[in-house]
Structure 1
Amino acid sequence: MIIDELTQNFAMKKLLFLFVGVGLLFSSCSSDDNGIENPNPDPPGTIDNALAPQAFMWNAMNLWYFWQGSVPDLADTRFTNNEEFTNFLAQTPNPEDFYFDVLLFEEDRFSFLNENYEELVNNLSGVSKSNGLEFGLVRFSEGDGLFGYVQYIVPNSDASTTDIKRGDIFTRVDGQQLTLGNYVNLLFNGNDTFTLGLADIVNEEIVDNDTEIELTKIENQVEDPILVAKTLDINGTKIAYLMYNRFLSSFNEQLNAAFGQFKAEGATELVLDMRYNPGGSVNTSRLLASMIYSTNTDELYIRQRWNDKIQNQLSAEQLEDYFASTTGTTAINTLNLSKVHVIATNSSASASELVMNGLAPYVEIFHVGETTRGKNEFSITLVDDPDNSFIYNSDRENQINPNNSWGIQPLVGRNENADGFFDYTEGLVPNEVLEEDLANLGVLGDPDEPLLARAIEEITGVTSKRSFSVQMPAKTFVSSRIETPMRDNMYLDKPLNIGKQ
């Protein structure tokens, strides 16, 4: 590893607290302490400020990246001196190109970065500038045209004050027809305000109409991930229904309260709806799994896999997560279920898939929907703070290189369940394939909404007379959740008290 004056005093760190995605905290220690060790020497030399982002990215990825051993340019022996290293960095003057085109492994679909690490950190905690409209984009059968359909509206957002609603179709933004070539610029260009042109479904065709809806983003919009939580009484069977849209640790208590409500209402079954959930906190996924299955803290939920540099320095205590009996402050409300019905689609990723995989050794899972996205890796937030092993820590803002605001979110590990299974990069396949129907999206939480209705049918064993045929499948190729900085991230937030072995 090439270490310049920006990366001194990085030889050995003592691991005190693991908060992957929001931060790993380290403190300096002597060489006989247990902790994360950088096995490479510190050659002399300096790096020009213009190349500081690339130098930071290389050093951080060399230590933490899950596929470090598979990327030749990240090899420990790649450079013999600082001049060679500097020349290598200078070959790619754009930091974004350097990260994506030079450092990433070819199989990596999910590592990302942000020129402003503060924005990155805020987005990962569920705070963003948003108008509250969540949608999917679908390609027309011919040509490069696109249309969008509204999946749901975030409560207390700008969109919630307009007439737009779930199931509405839009084809235009600020008067321009959506295409493969312009949708990113029109919908995700950072503009605070845009106007959508709506359309109707007529004989299974999308036909423009004259209705326009103006939407404006609100600063620091926080979304409650619990969109719907209620208990349905279906012919005497009490079925809890939870529409859960993101794993946010700041809402752990509300999630536990929802399960307390389910218990108080006598629920004996659960439909967990994660059809639009892109992921989030691993610890929140553990708490949710405990609310579903058990508070037995002797049963393993998941085990982490890091690259060889990190894995070999971590103990079983650091690597393993067990089911929880408390949220940290409150006793877990658990339904103690042996079977759970899950609604998941291609928009369901990371921590959503982790819940399903982590529960699989203990609970029968009936999956209605589509094959999930297939993201089984977790990431960490890295910034140019070499004395803290490049790990972001909000208490060290003044230690981050002021000449380099870049933050990176690389994949650094995978989680396996108690059976050792982790290989679902192709996604988790449903028991019952059922796509959303643009012609009949239904109301989320209503027993007649098609995906929920199919889950209820499986629970009750009563076959309805309704047809589950799909007229216009919502074949989403991208969603509003994936194209924003919040995207499909999964991070660990596990406190670890480490002493000498």
Structure 2
Amino acid sequence: MKSTTSLLSCAAMAVMLTACGGSSTPAVVVPDPVPPPDPVPVVYADAAPGSSLDLWNRCEVMHPGGVQNQPGTQADEKGFIRAITQETYLWNSEVPAIKATDYPTVVAYFNALKTPKLLANGRPKDRFHYSYPREVWEALSSGVELSYGISWNAGANQVPRQWRIAMVDAGSPAERAGLRRGDQLIMIDNEDFIYRGDSDAVARFNAALAPTKADQPHRFTWWRDGRAFDTALTVGSVNALSVQAVQLLDTPSGKTGYLNFTSHNAPAERQLYEAMMGFSNAGVKELVLDMRYNGGGQISIASQLAYMIAGPAASSGKVFMRYATNGRLNPGRPTSFLDFGIGFASTQPLPFGTKLPHLDLKRVTLLTGPGTCSASEALINGLRGIDIEVRLVGGQTCGKPYAFVPMTNCGTTYFMVQYQGTNNKGWGDFDEGFAPDCRVDDDMGHALGDPAESLLATALRLNAGASCAAVAARQGGRSAAAPLAAGSTPDRTSGDSDAATVQVRSPLKEISILPERR
């Protein structure tokens, strides 16, 4: 793909530059004794030597639709992973010493080539290292996903689990089964989902929550309004809207625009354009962006949205995001506040060069939570970098100031952290997330976009001049998403903490992708 070619070319240039020069060896008959050299690190042992450009698409198995596939070996494919890690991975100096032959597959080898370090809060420093089959990635990037059409509110994601449905996509298997926001998951395939935390059970839960084929039905048991009920679900191709529940609200502070924005993907470009054009024509004075479940996507989409919020006076000549790298990878050009349509490929693309509307707002309110990640956080940081007031209502964001260019090799698309983004002021250290100005629990009892829903209601009161403390007092200090009362579900025996992590959503939901050409 074009992005891979560009990236590999930069890496190859770095290799050429470091290979320049030489030294002469003095002629001696008997050299003085010297200590033995340090052991050669085995970090990349048994993978083919060479640069990523040399090894690109030298494949053990030919893949239909592959670009410039050539016959190769597994060692060649592992060599490509070795080389691209050396050349582009942000923390390449922290990669552990491992042998390629200790891993049975290329993907298993790739998964191990990342930093093992932890953040101050105990979370892994790199939680964003993964791969997809090429055809799956291409479908996902166009907005099509093989899923049930469910977004989750998973709390702390440990036993006892309190997983509730946060959002159901229109036309999805979940909607057809009658599921709705607020339903709590209590069993999967007749196994206790609330308290089972052993590795084998977690593996079965993950297989049921994210099946890879559409012929794998699973049975789910739910709790709603004091009773349990079952559904049988089979995943299907879900083409969910990235921009939903767009509405104009009449408030004391003037016309307020609201929209639920779930993904910075290709279809979002036109959907955001149309929503913001409507807000501009209506003369909105306040904007509430519901991004509590938006895990990221294209940085270009985030920069377009930032421009449409701030307008040309605030953003002209300013940088939306600069990029820092490992020192070997060329950081490329900064991303500006884009004021035109790029024309990302989708069923209804926005024509390239379309002039974007702008609201010229001095402040914006975002509804956030742990699912607010990556490109969504870049929007926050980018706007604050040009002194637009960004108020956050809800929960702490996920913490991902990083980005990458997807790299496809031999039928698999790989994602590794390659860039750290900073704003116009040079700041981007939010790897533990952004704290909310007003901490409010997600409200499972109201639909998204309902002015009575706790996060939106808080945002509207803030815009009307109330303080966070006043809003909290009005709520009576109670959680809008209180867990089920003890004994309201069938009796469970206590269990240990999860021995493995149940996957709340695919890694694709927490990404920042750079344009193919920078």
TM-score (norm 2): 0.74
CA distance in 1, matches of 2:423, 2:186: 42
Aligned equivalent of 1:301, options 299, 320, 324: 320
Q: Indicate how the Cα distance of structure 1 residues 380 and 310 shifts in structure 2: closer, same or farther if over 3 A, else same.
A: same
Residue matched to 1:486: 508
CA distance in 2, matches of 1:168, 1:418: 42
Q: Indicate how the Cα distance of structure 1 residues 95 and 114 shifts in structure 2: closer, same or farther if over 3 A, else same.
A: same
CA distance in 2, matches of 1:116, 1:359: 35
Aligned equivalent of 1:430, options 423, 427, 436: 436
Q: Indicate how the Cα distance of structure 1 residues 381 and 27 shifts in structure 2: closer, same or farther if over 3 A, else same.
A: closer
Counterpart secondary structure, 1:298: coil
Counterpart secondary structure, 1:38: helix
Q: Indicate how the Cα distance of structure 1 residues 371 and 236 shifts in structure 2: closer, same or farther if over 3 A, else same.
A: closer
Counterpart secondary structure, 2:426: coil
Matched, 1:151 2:169: no
Residue matched to 1:101: 112
Root mean square deviation, CA, Å: 3.3
Aligned equivalent of 1:452, options 444, 452, 456: 456
Residue matched to 2:337: 323
Residue matched to 1:405: 411
Residue matched to 2:6: 26
CA distance in 1, matches of 2:291, 2:157: 26
Alignment of 1:90-489 (within 5 A): 90-107=101-118, 108-114=125-131, 116-138=133-155, 144-178=159-193, 179-181=196-198, 182=201, 183-190=205-212, 192=214, 193-200=217-224, 209-219=227-237, 221-235=238-252, 237-295=254-312, 296-311=315-330, 318-328=332-342, 329-361=353-385, 362-384=387-409, 404-438=410-444, 441-461=445-465, 465-467=474-476, 469-470=478-479, 472-473=481-482, 482-489=504-511
Counterpart secondary structure, 2:296: coil
CA distance in 2, matches of 1:28, 1:105: 25
| Cα deviations by residue, 1:359-407 (Å, 9 ceiling, x for unpaired) | 00320111111111001110222233xxxxxxxxxxxxxxxxxxx4333
Contact 2:292 2:369 in 1 (8 A): yes
Identity among equivalent positions (%) equals: 20
Shift of 1:95: 3.1
Contact 2:253 2:464 in 1 (8 A): no
Shift of 1:57: 1.0
CA distance in 1, matches of 2:254, 2:477: 22
Shift of 1:484: 1.8
Counterpart secondary structure, 2:221: strand
Letter matched to residue 393 of structure 2 = V
Q: Which has the higher strand share?
A: 1
Shift of 1:138: 4.4
Q: Indicate how the Cα distance of structure 1 residues 253 and 471 shifts in structure 2: closer, same or farther if over 3 A, else same.
A: closer
CA distance in 1, matches of 2:145, 2:298: 17
Query: Greater relative contact order (Cα 8 A, min sep 6): structure 1 or 2?
Result: 1
Q: Indicate how the Cα distance of structure 1 residues 245 and 73 shifts in structure 2: closer, same or farther if over 3 A, else same.
A: same
Counterpart secondary structure, 2:264: coil
Contact 1:304 1:413 in 2 (8 A): yes
Contact 2:188 2:220 in 1 (8 A): yes
Shift of 1:34: 12
Shift of 1:237: 1.7
Shift of 1:447: 0.9
Shift of 1:350: 0.1
Q: Indicate how the Cα distance of structure 1 residues 468 and 229 shifts in structure 2: closer, same or farther if over 3 A, else same.
A: farther
Residue matched to 1:499: none
| Cα deviations by residue, 1:6-46 (Å, 9 ceiling, x for unpaired) | xxxxxxxxxxx9x7xxx3443999xxx99843336676999
Contact 1:299 1:323 in 2 (8 A): yes
Contact 2:206 2:503 in 1 (8 A): no
Aligned equivalent of 2:88, options 49, 52, 64: 64
Letter matched to residue 382 of structure 1 = M
Q: Indicate how the Cα distance of structure 1 residues 339 and 103 shifts in structure 2: closer, same or farther if over 3 A, else same.
A: closer
CA distance in 1, matches of 2:483, 2:377: 21
Counterpart secondary structure, 2:301: helix
Q: Indicate how the Cα distance of structure 1 residues 140 and 426 shifts in structure 2: closer, same or farther if over 3 A, else same.
A: closer
CA distance in 2, matches of 1:156, 1:471: 28
Q: Indicate how the Cα distance of structure 1 residues 251 and 437 shifts in structure 2: closer, same or farther if over 3 A, else same.
A: closer
Q: Indicate how the Cα distance of structure 1 residues 422 and 27 shifts in structure 2: closer, same or farther if over 3 A, else same.
A: closer
Contact 1:436 1:473 in 2 (8 A): no
CA distance in 2, matches of 1:291, 1:223: 23
CA distance in 1, matches of 2:292, 2:146: 23
Shift of 1:212: 1.6
Contact 1:149 1:167 in 2 (8 A): yes
Residue matched to 1:37: 14
Q: Which runs of 5+ in 1 are unaligned?
A: 1-16, 75-87, 203-208, 385-403, 497-501
Contact 1:291 1:334 in 2 (8 A): yes
Counterpart secondary structure, 1:310: coil
Alignment of 1:47-58 (within 5 A): 49-58=73-82
Letter matched to residue 6 of structure 2 = F
Q: Indicate how the Cα distance of structure 1 residues 164 and 426 shifts in structure 2: closer, same or farther if over 3 A, else same.
A: same
CA distance in 2, matches of 1:26, 1:36: 11
CA distance in 2, matches of 1:170, 1:336: 43
CA distance in 2, matches of 1:484, 1:28: 27
| Cα deviations by residue, 1:380-438 (Å, 9 ceiling, x for unpaired) | 22233xxxxxxxxxxxxxxxxxxx43332101011100111110011111111112145
Q: Which runs of 5+ in 2 are unaligned?
A: 20-48, 61-71, 119-124, 343-352, 485-497
Letter matched to residue 307 of structure 1 = N
Q: How many residues align?
A: 424
| Segment drifting more, 51-60 vs 115-124 | 115-124
Counterpart secondary structure, 1:253: helix
Shift of 1:487: 2.7
Letter matched to residue 288 of structure 2 = V
Letter matched to residue 157 of structure 1 = S
Shift of 1:189: 4.0
